[in-house]
Amino acid sequence: MAALGSDVQSTSVELVSVIERMKERKTWLDEQISTEEAEQERVLAEMRSMQARLALLKESLAKKHAVRAELERTITETYSAFKNILDASKKLLSTAKEESSALKAQID
């Protein structure tokens, strides 16, 4: 019976030791989990901030692309109108020179 009591006591001591090691591992894991959860929250906050910044950039770019397209259209229209005026001015100058030459020829 003494051997049984000794065996029970030895097993109990070893069991308590195993339980203590498992508790230490659990404590270590709790610390690791806490650290990683904090990091996860920081990363999520950064992502939200970056998503907000990205949305602002997209909006800004869309407006600037629209303005650029309008400027390009205005430049094209203005250049075309200027070219028409230039062509009409050249035609007017040519006509004026012809008329002037014709009138000069009538005088001479």
What is the residue-wise DSSP string for 91-108? HHHHHHHHHHHHHHHHH-
> Is 67 a domain residue?
yes
Q: Mean pLDDT across the stretch 74-82?
A: 99
Share of the chain above pLDDT 70, in %: 99
Q: pLDDT grade, residue 96 (50/70/90)?
A: very high
The answer as to whether 23 is a domain residue is yes
Q: End-to-end distance of the chain based on CA atoms, in angstroms?
A: 155
The confidence score (pLDDT) of residue 106 equals: 87
- Would residue 62 count as lying in a domain? yes
In a domain, 86, yes or no: no
Asked if residue 44 has pLDDT above 80, the reply is yes
Q: Is pLDDT above 90 for 41?
A: yes
Report which secondary-structure segment, H or E, holds 9.
helix 2-107
To the question of pTM greater than 0.85 for the whole model, the response is no
Instruction: With a cut of 80, say whether residue 58 has pLDDT above it.
Output: yes
Domain count, the chain: 1
The DSSP output letter for 27 is H
- Is 95 inside a domain boundary? no
The range of the structural domain enclosing residue 27 comes to 1-76
In a domain, 19, yes or no: yes
**In the prediction, which pLDDT does 43 show?**
99
